Amino acid sequence: MSESSAEKRVVVEATPTALALRVADRFLTRVKARTRNGRVAHIALTGGSMGGAVLRAVADNPRAADIDWSLVHFWWGDERFVPRDDSDRNALQSRNALLDHIPVPEENIHEAAASDSGLNLDEAAAAYAAELARFGTDDHPWPSFAVCFLGVGPDGHIASLFPDREEVTVTDAAALPVRDSPKPPPERITLTRPVLNSSKRVWLVLTGADKASALGLALAGASYTSVPAAGAKGRKRTVYFVDEAAASEVSPDLIDQTY
Ligand SMILES: O=C1O[C@H](COP(=O)(O)O)[C@@H](O)[C@H](O)[C@H]1O
């Protein structure tokens, strides 16, 4: 195992459906453990194909009824700057998949402002940073996420940190406006790498043959500027949850059979 991937785990399931069920079950285990003694859990969600699939599997899991959702706060690693009821919004997708089906207080749901909120893109990014700062720690002006979910694009992007763009190198802000995104919609708000990587656990969830190359490069220690997924790293654990199609370029010795 190369040094660059030593602390990264790869968990493989045969299909996207099986993967979503597994991630959902593990997520519920983590949230239950974190909130057991009344501690708050901050969770960063992702949009994209598997973001929704995992949350639907959480909603369908009977163990969701065992969680005190009033202790759980939801954030997003990135958001598309579109109207509030636009189906492209990551927050709307997450609400439809999970948040509308669990008793989580509305004040625990921390959405970035939408394009019809009255704020422009810069103001919306600044407002999101200010909201993060309300829940900051002694170490940084943002909450420490117990779990940070990330999708990965075929180009290796995570959140709205795209390859070879300035945003991926920024370390002096918590949230940034993104313009001219290579993937539509063009305007977005993203958390920065220091925020994502201050998470206790970073879980990257990706499926499909079109992600195999990005996954292979991320695990091979590619530069995070050209493959942003390569730079995602949780303080305690970094896990790539993938299906067999995405895992086709992963060396078998990197696959964790025990996790
Ligand atoms: O645009 C985005 O894309 C990624 C990945 O999406 P997928 O559909 O290829 O899985 C997602 O992680 C990110 O949050 C989102 O805004």
pLDDT tens-digit map of 67-90: 999 999 999 999 999 999 999 999
Percent of the chain scoring above 70 in pLDDT: 98
- Sheet of 175-178: strands edge to edge? 78-80, 188-191, 175-178
Confidence label for 6 from pLDDT (cuts 50, 70 and 90): very low
Ligand 1 contact, 183 CB (< 6 A): yes
Alpha-carbon distance values, 77 to 46, 158, 202, 205, 228 (Å): 6, 8, 11, 13, 13
Q: Give the distance (Å) from ligand 1 centre to CA of residue 154.
A: 9
Q: Whose structure tokens read 């001219």?
A: 180
Per residue in 152-192, pLDDT (tens digit) is: 999 999 999 999 999 999 999 999 999 999 999 999 999 99
Q: Which two tokens stand for residue 194?
A: 């220091």
Give the model's confidence band at 1: pLDDT under 50 very low, under 70 low, under 90 confident, else very high: very low
Q: Quote the tokens at residue 207.
A: 């499926």
| Residue 242 confidence class, pLDDT cut points 50, 70, 90 | very high
- State the ipTM, two decimals: 0.96
Whole-structure pTM value = 0.96
Nearest-atom number in ligand 1 for the CA of 50 is 10
Determine if ligand 1 sits within 6 Å of the CB of residue 50.
yes
Q: Whose CA is nearest to atom 7 of ligand 1?
A: 48
CA-to-CA separations, 66 to 32, 59, 61, 103, 171, in angstroms, rounded? 8, 12, 10, 11, 38
- Ligand 1 mutation target, pool 160, 195, 203, most atoms within 8 A of CB: 160
Residue 122 has pLDDT above 80, yes or no: yes
CA 48 / ligand 1 centre spacing (Å): 4
- Decide whether any atom of ligand 1 lies within 6 Å of the 212 Cβ: no
Hey, what are 95's tokens? 């609400």
Q: What is the mean pLDDT of residues 25-41?
A: 98
List the one residue out of 58, 53, 81, 83 whose CA is nearest residue 69. 58
How much distance in Å is there from the Cα of 101 to the middle of ligand 1? 23
Please give the distance, rounded to the nearest whole angstrom, from the Cα atom of residue 135 to the centre of ligand 1.
25
Return the ligand 1 atom nearest residue 151 CA.
12
- Ordered domains of the chain (ranges, CATH): 8-254 (3.40.50.1360)
Note the pLDDT tens digit of each residue in 200-241. Answer: 999 999 999 999 999 999 999 999 999 999 999 999 999 999
The pLDDT value recorded for residue 7 is 73
**Residue 181 CB less than 6 A away from ligand 1:** no
Residue 129 has a pLDDT of: 98
